[in-house]
A = this chain, B = another copy of it.
Amino acid sequence: MSTRSPRSRHPEAPRQATIRDVARAARVSVATVSRALNDSGPVRDDTRRRVRDAADNLRFTPHGGARSLITSRTNTLGVLLPDLYGEFFSEIIRGIDRSAQRAGYQLLLSSARNAHDEVHGAFRAMYGRVDGLVLMAPDVELAELFAQHRDGTPIVFINSPVTSEDARVITIDNHGGAYQMVKHLVRKGHQRIAIIRGAESNHDAAERLRGYRDALDDGGLPRDPRLEFHGDFTETAGYRAGRAALKLQPHPTAIFAANDAMAIGALSALREEGVAVPGAIAVAGFDDIPIARYVSPPLSSVHVPIAQLGERAMDLLLGAIVGPDHGAARRVVLPTTLVIRKSSP
């Protein structure tokens, strides 16, 4: 019925040229073409020229999939993030890309909410297309799952609570940052300092809470469960917590939000109620996103080198890929710095 050839429909179907087409055009074997184009073996100068010309004429582009099948190198790195939303993401990608680009790697990007299945699925889809993986999973269970997945592709965890000794993991100093900020508030004389927490299962959130509590302890202030408001890192949650804080009888004189988005939400709530910031209540956040300096009053925050986080993660990964990284550090903790602005002088 129909001929075997794929060209049968149109007389001149513009099929992409393969290495065989180039070989035929240059009157050499495919092996020579490969050698000529990759400089991977001896080729006579005029042969090389003939091959190069033929390749150009035919607009030959080697098929990445085929190449990586045989070489088992893809020149691609996987990036798996919980979300692709907002400043944090954009900054971390920037860092990752900077480092990857320098090393000549491409990025295969995937977002998966912290659901087991989604992450697992994304991971399967990446297998065989990447040489390594940067995984950000602040949720507890996931990390454990991957820690034991040690067959093959190297993984670097960002901000994940992986306990396994030989896992490569990079984090920021959540505890230290929160501790410093709350300590600062204590020193300024605040007696009742509230916190707006992040999600329960989130590792970063847990560490920041711990920093808050330790700072209170060290400052000789009592812990008060009523001052620990729940949140989930969204502006809305911050807004709600802000209103709730105002309902407390002797209301807190300072609010430390576990991230900037919530701090900004809290600011809106306070403004709505006509509460002076920092006059009546001081407010501070965490992350130091770019908007922080623009809100009014400008928001004190804990600065996190987000882009650097991505960059260092990538460096760690690249190190693991090029060779066994025996000597190299497997755990990196990036320091945070305090940025005091008008919201909590």
Where the two chains meet, the residues of A that have a C-beta atom closer than 8 Å to any C-beta of B are 14-16, 59, 61-69, 74-76, 84-87, 89-90, 93-94, 97, 101, 106-111, 122, 124-129, 150-152, 290-291, 294-296
Residues from chain B with a CB closer than 8 A to the CB of A125 are 64, 75, 106
- Cα A108 to Cα B84 in complex, Å, equals 14
Cβ A128 vs Cβ B294 within 8 A = no
Once the chains are docked, how many angstroms separate the CA of A82 from the CA of B85?
A: 19
Copy tally for this chain in the complex stands at 2
Q: Select which of B14, B85, B94 is within 8 A of A85 by beta carbon.
A: B94
CA distance A291 to B68 in the complex (A): 43
Minimum C-beta distance from A33 to chain B (A): 16
Q: Are B65 and A128 touching (Cβ within 8 A)?
A: yes
User: In the bound complex, what is the Cα–Cα distance between A185 and B108 (angstroms)?
Assistant: 45
Residue pair B128, A129 in contact (C-beta under 8 Å): no
Q: Which 5 residue pairs are nearest across A and B when measured between Cβ atoms?
A: A90-B90, A63-B128, A64-B128, A294-B294, A64-B129
Partner of A90, one of B89, B101, B106, B122: B89
Residue of B nearest to A122 (CB): B106
* A129: chain B residues within 8 A (beta carbon): 64-65, 76, 129
In whole angstroms, how far apart are the Cα atoms of A190 and B257 in the complex? 44
Known: A66-B128, A90-B89, A94-B85. A151 touches B108 (CB 8 A): no
A102 CB to closest chain B CB, in angstroms?
12
Partner of A97 from the list B69, B84, B290 (CB cut-off 8 Å) is B84
A313 to chain B, nearest CB (A): 15
Out of B67, B87, B152, name the residue touching A14 (CB < 8 Å): B152
- A-B contacts, 7 of them at CB < 8 A, read A62-B128, A63-B127, A64-B128, A89-B90, A106-B126, A107-B108, A109-B109
